[in-house]
Amino acid sequence: MPSPSQEFNVFHGTVIHSLSPSDLEINENTVVIVNVATGKIVLMERKVDNLNEFLSGLGFLENKQYNVNVLKKDQFILPGFIDTHALIYRLPQHAPQFSYAATGMDLPLLDWLDTYTFPKEAEYAESEHAQNVYSKVVDRFLSCGTTTCSWFATIHLEASKILTDVIEEKGQRAYIGKVNMDQNSPDYYIEKTESSVQDTRTFIEYVQAKNNDLLTPIITPRFAISCTSPLLQALGDLAKEYQVPIQSHLCENVAEIEFTQSLFPNSVNYTAVYDDHGLLNDKTIMAHCVHMTEDELKLIKEREAGVSHCPNSNFNLQSGVADIRHYLDLDIKCSLGTDVAGGFATSILDAMRSAFTASNTVGILRSQYGNCSAKPYKALDAKELIYLATLGGAKVVGMEDKIGNFKVGKDFDALVVDASDDGPVRLFRHDGPWETLQKFLFTGDERCLSHVYVKGRRVAGWKQSDGADRAESLCRFCDCDMVAIIAALAATLYITGTIVWSLAFFSTFDDRFIQSLPRYKLVTEPVTSAFAENPFHIMVIKLVFIVLTKVFGGFRYSLAHLAYYIDILNTIAAFAVFWEQIQSKPYYEKELATRFANDNTGVPDITSLRQIKRLLHPVLKNDGIIIHPHITYATREEALDAIKQTNDYNQPRKMMLDVYTAVEKPPGLRPVLIHIHGGAWRMGSKNHLYPYENDLITEEKWIVVNIAYRLAPINAYPTHLKDVKRAIRWVKQCINNFGGDPNFIVLAGDSAGGHLAMMAAMTANQSQYQEGFEDVDTSVRGVVTFNGALRIHHDMFFAKKVAMMNEPINRAFLLDHSPVTYCEKAYQQGSLVPSLILMYHACTKSKLFTSMWPEDNVTPLSTQTAVENLPSSIDERVERRMNPRLRALSLRFRVVIMYSTLDGVLVRFLPTASFYHGAETSITRTILVWDSLLSDAKRESYRVVL
């Protein structure tokens, strides 16, 4: 039982492993616990339905020292693959041969060695080349799930050391052998007997000195043909001296067997050659073993040596077909090898499939050419293939007490197999764990391996997180399945988002419906406000919800499906609106042009469709505009203080402004518009000329000033407001140099910029926001805002992320910085405030204003004033000509205009206006037309400045 003070990885799901060639355990709802420090399996418990309850008994919830990995239905855990003649998956049996895998398949073994193998292996005398290739090779093997591999290197000592270092770095478990060859080899690739023995001894000591239990040196005579008898004997002595394993080739090819017998006539057969030199024992791995006599098989059995079956290579090099069924019946230890480049694939999965084909081939040949009365041949099945790739391989390499399955006490060498639809495997509702395993075996590849572990450490796998699934690799603190929790949460977010999206969409044509909802102000108002201000952002968030719901399985819930279909309808409706807007634009523009021409409004030259198009679609171009960029409005002392407070030398860059003027300068001073950008007080910049500013400059010859200000979280509010005041100070003192009138300043802003514009206007000349320039007049003539923040005294985002407050929240401070506070005081006291044009989404703010100033108690403006005519310019005649769906779904805005007069404050709610072409165009029309229609006398009497 694990100690509660240690750290463990917990896996819960389907666990599959072999106990024998015919006994494959498939355990569902099984818990495997791995000690992180030792990498060993400390507990395996089957049939655990309630993981949380089970872990509670181990002290998990109290100590929180377990990393829980919950597998999904189409995931399972297998023991790591073992490649006994190379690595697993797509790695060469001989590491150097990786670079020429899948070439020369038309040649038999001995010709293939002379043509391809020996010339390529000779290149590994260059250390840089060896480092490059070996790194790729080991990565490839691990990605294919080969956790243990028996490597053939080359005859080069340094290259073999490099391979060892690479394997150690990558974390693979491996047998590593420096190849020995002192005869029947090309002159450029051969050793002397003495140097071969000495280099082998040096290599063994090099590997053992690392004291890494994952790395084992292995004696590696290439095969008997390439080694003299003295070399074989010396290698046998080294194996006995250092107690290390042995690997080589045996009976792969008929010509090879005949050549070997001619070289060693004193040995009774090929297998006996190794036995006669002390190279055949229970630590020996013999690759291929295709053409074995019964006497040789008997000797292999007596010495307890192991066989590495390499069917892919055997087929490709025309070597033959090994009868592994017969070997297993004789109780000979058998395993699988990829033998690249003889084999063209580096994956043990391919070796299993080739072994299946080879076994069936043996059965076919026997049925056609053998004794028909003999017992029917049984080909290898899936259970035996899994055994050969895992526990069988562990027995061949002498590590069945460490790896091969998930018995308690063994190292956790494992693969997390993900057979979901994202990979090559296709599952259906009727597929259980056994069917999933078979489909992975015959159709899967490395794309199915999300995680590969060696001794408890993750060494490969395509998933980024360290859990069995990115959604489930979290500790659980309730009895529910974490998958279900996250799926339900994702579905809830998506359903909620769809409802809000639908409400916001409907609110564009029916305020009463939205305002009748319970708790409208707390829930619907902020979201519909965001919809009006940033519809693109809302659509992006909605898309994120869809992705989350899909990834975490939230569509398993019927409500999520319903939300999805509603969402489709919303999207179709939105596109229909855009299309109808395009279709109805000629009617809209023509009617508006006609109305301006016929209503005697006094607007000069507004008599053509072309003129109206300019108003509705101001082209953003800088022709006729001069820009004076990056002017610092802060004093030297203020800039230094900004650096001192934040230790950030970039802060003075936030205290700059750009001045835009017309190329053609009219006589006299021109009105000044100061635009304050939005961005939730935390982002945004001044480097953008809005379309309505473009028109003001080029057509009306206004001076436009775009300002930047310091942002949260580096600077806490009211630093933002103070910077706006500093910018106003600069404009008052310097704008006349650019042809601007310091006594005719209008502030404009959107969102957070609208809030700052209103606050700057309403707190004019208040000393607490003008430190160091208290005597400067910072009053302005008016404010135009779009979706400006009026109420922030209940806004926790503003309090914590902008004002940077800690609990308890200073409500009085928030109230003082809500523009609505000053509006209420002005209305109640009859005091003067700057003239305001506040534009909002119709449903968003209407209830806010009606609760502040009852609409029936507001003194009406004269019906002769242009501001009453402007929003009504799209009358019923236009709407009747437009498609009803467009009339119903188009965005609408409520315009609130507030005046200070000599008699007090007048507030007027204008009829809901449909602005089909965007808020910025609406602001342009408001400023231009209002300014043209109101006489100087009316401006003075109403204190209206535009």
CA–CA distance, 57 with 48 (Å, rounded to integer)? 12
Q: What is the DSSP letter of 534?
A: -
**CA dist list (Å): 271 to 158, 293, 332, 794, 795:** 31, 9, 14, 87, 84
Residue 305 to residues 238, 328, 554: CA-CA distances in angstroms? 18, 13, 54
Q: Which amino acid is at 524?
A: T
Per-residue exposure over 721-741, b if at least 16 CB sit within 10 Å of its own CB, e if not: bbbbbbbbbbbbeebeebbbb
Helix (H, G, I), strand (E, B) or coil at 406: coil
Indicate the pairing of strand 913-914 with strand 892-901. Answer: antiparallel
Q: String of b and e for 744-764 (b: at least 16 CB within 10 Å)?
A: bbbbbbbbbbbbbbbbbbbbb
Gap between the Cα atoms of 532 and 279, Å rounded: 82
Contact (Cβ atoms closer than 8 angstroms) between residue 929 and residue 602: no
CB atoms near residue 910 (< 10 Å):
19
How many C-beta atoms surround the C-beta of residue 905 within 10 A? Answer: 21
Residue length of the chain: 946
* Burial per residue of 554-576, b for 16 or more beta-carbon CB atoms within 10 angstroms, e otherwise: bbebeebeebbeebeebeebeee
- Phi, psi (5° rounding) for residue 176? -130, 125
The C-alpha atoms of residue 127 and residue 902 are separated, in whole angstroms, by 92
Q: Please, what's the largest Cα pairwise distance for the chain?
A: 127
DSSP letters spanning 369-395? HS-TTSPPP----HHHHHHHHTHHHHH
Reported as half-sphere exposure (CB side, CA atoms, 13 A), residue 567 has a value of 20
Kindly state the DSSP code that residue 651 receives in the 8-state scheme.
G
Catalytic: which of 18, 354, 450, 751? 751
Q: Which of the 8 DSSP states describes residue 193?
A: H
Q: Which two tokens stand for residue 308?
A: 């590495």
Number of Cβ within 10 Å of residue 866's Cβ equals 17
608 is catalytic: no
Cα atoms in the 13 Å half-sphere on the side-chain side of 770: 19
Active site residues: 751
